[in-house]
Amino acid sequence: MTNLTNLTDLTAKAAVDAIAAGDLDAAELFTAYREAAAAEDLNAYTWVADQTPDLSAAAALPLRGVPLAVKDLFCTQGVPSQAGSKILEGYRPPYDATVVAQLAAAGTSLLGKTNQDEFAMGSSNENSAYGPVKNPWDHTRVPGGSSGGSAAAVAAGLAPWALGTDTGGSIRQPAALCGIVGLKPTYGSVSRYGMIAFASSLDQAGPFARDVTDAALLYSHMHGRDPRDATSVGRPDADAIALPTGERLDGLRLGVPDDLTGEGVEPGVWTAFEAALETAKGLGATVERVALPHAGYGLNAYYVIAPAEASSNLARFDGVRYGARAEADDLITMYTKTRHDYMGTEVKRRILIGTYALSSGFYDAYYASAQKVRTLIARDFTTAFAGVDLIVTPTSPGVAFPLGAKTEDPLSMYLNDIFTIPISLAGIPALSLPCGLSEGLPVGLQLAGPAFSENRILEAAYALEQAFAFDNTPSAIGGAPS
Amino acid sequence: MIDRTQVLHVARLARLQLTDDEVERMSTELSSILDHIETISELDLSDVAPTAHVVASEGALRADAPRASLDHDVALAQAPDPADDGFRVPSPQA
């Protein structure tokens, strides 16, 4: 019914508009994506819808039945939700996560569940019990993580947009490594109910999209206070999310934190970042240095707080109420063997770190101190935002790295998130926008703002996106796609 | 330095069985991660209040009114070993 050559080339917003205008059939669009997703060779999906649902009702809703890929960390009623873990193999939740239900009510249709690092612990998607995901730009490289499947699916045209979660960078870093847009919203603006918990004081759901407009559109239907998540606050009254339109940055003050951007950044990433700053100046922005004196301790604090919260959250996986169980003659051995047999190495590592940090005699030295460092980091950002509107950094210190390159060295893997973690600890929003290439691979620009400044971030990102004119079609350099 | 005994102690607290190889590996890896974390001790934190949550969630309590919860059968449907309307587990005494 349409003369479009390839339906999966449409952005989500363009698809919404075309369906609303009667130029595109929602079911036809769903079928095109379903067939593409079922035939994919990136291992981005762990489950794909096996038929096209009746979309006549959804097509009348604001998001018009446009398909949505959902990270496997979200509970989806009756649909496998395995969180990248063998311990949840075949688990079909009896309810939907609030954000999944909200988006379905707004008219998205569930296309598939995407692969991820086990329980969202990882920066490369290599910690999945269902195998690593390949980067669409180079099949020998990682897509980033932990939401690697969602990022790869959107970048490869296997989904118009996708849901991810970000605890220390799990939306922003894979968005950067796959050349797409990813938004980590302000902590508390989106419900965490039904998101399988990793670190509850940091976890936040957000959108992956091919462009800034689509990210704004999806997020505009995600936020809101949820009575089932006591930490959710929604957004301040009347502060709805608007689709961005401005193409200038006149008067916008950007801050570059010297304390964070000193060492460890690949030269090609730094070059792309500096070029992005020049582009911003050309659009009327000013760029100045800002101090974040404690941000450099973010990684240290994070690797106490996140594992501590994880060690508590993951206690629920004990072989009793759901998930896998190892057979044993007594109860304690059943618990310990189940957790040994069905959890991966990184998950065990973090459970042990977290348990150690919370254990008698070590609590003050680790957990209590880390929470104080968190206070200092949040204060640094508040002070910095008195002088600038947004803080900008590269999203990740490097481009997508080869599969297997960092799996033997946990610390080098953790360093991937050095620019994203301080922002998570402060609970503030940040977006990753593709700003160029280094060695033929995408580089992400991270824009962070004060709590609830998503509109400001999206406006700035939109203006930069027009100026960068980044071609987000994966060029498939090494290990070319079929 | 986290030695074997400490790894085994923490693993017991976490209800996590480890093979001998895993104990070795975790001892080395946890030591290097904890060494890295310990640079926090460079900071003077004596007058700093801790932050547990960045969002102040006031009035998050719901009304104390009865409401529907998951149906019994639905709640048991994913259990590895449901029996007699409950979750069956091996005896703690065996």
Local confidence band at B18 (pLDDT 50, 70, 90 cut-offs): very high
Look at residue A174 and tell me if it is in a domain: yes
pLDDT at B59 over 80: no
Q: Which positions of A are catalytic?
A: 71, 146, 170
Q: Which domains does chain B have, with CATH numbers?
A: 1-35 (1.10.20.60)
pLDDT by position in tens, chain A (length 482): 444 569 999 999 999 999 999 999 999 999 999 999 999 999 999 999 999 999 999 999 999 999 999 999 999 999 999 999 999 999 999 999 999 999 999 999 999 999 999 999 999 999 999 999 999 999 999 999 999 999 999 999 999 999 999 999 999 999 999 999 999 999 999 999 999 999 999 999 999 999 999 999 999 999 999 989 989 999 987 678 999 999 999 999 999 998 877 678 999 999 999 999 999 999 999 999 999 999 999 999 999 999 999 999 999 999 999 999 999 999 999 999 999 999 999 999 999 999 999 998 999 999 999 999 999 999 999 999 999 999 999 999 999 999 999 998 888 888 889 999 999 999 999 999 999 999 999 999 999 999 999 999 999 999 999 999 999 999 765 554 43
Give the residue from A89, A356, A452 with the most B CB atoms within 10 Å of its CB, the best one to mutate.
Answer: A356
Look at residue A16 and tell me if it is in a domain: yes
Write the pLDDT tens digit of every residue in B67-85. 998 999 999 999 999 999 9
Mean pLDDT of B44-59: 84
Look at residue A141 and tell me if it is in a domain: yes
Q: How far is CA A69 from CA A37, A100, A234, in A?
A: 10, 10, 23
Phi and psi torsions of B20, nearest 5° = -55, -45
- 3-class secondary-structure state, position B35: helix
Look at residue A330 and tell me if it is in a domain: no
Look at residue A367 and tell me if it is in a domain: no
Structural domain of residue A251, as residue ranges? 7-294+376-468
Look at residue A334 and tell me if it is in a domain: no
Question: Is-contact B83 B70, C-beta < 8 A?
Answer: no
Is A188 close to B54, i.e. CB distance below 8 A? Answer: yes
Look at residue A427 and tell me if it is in a domain: yes
Question: Is-contact A415 A444, C-beta < 8 A?
Answer: no
pLDDT at A482: 38
pLDDT at A480: 47
Look at residue A152 and tell me if it is in a domain: yes
Find the CATH number of the domain harbouring A452.
Answer: 3.90.1300.10
For chain B, positions 24-83, list CB contacts with chain A under 8 A: 26, 29-30, 32-34, 36-41, 43, 45, 48-55, 57, 60, 62, 70, 74-75, 77-81
pLDDT at A435: 98
pLDDT at A236: 86
Nearest alpha-carbon partner for A432 in A283, A302, A269, A237: A269
- Tally A–B CB contacts below 8 A: 169
User: How many structural domains comprise chain A?
Assistant: 1
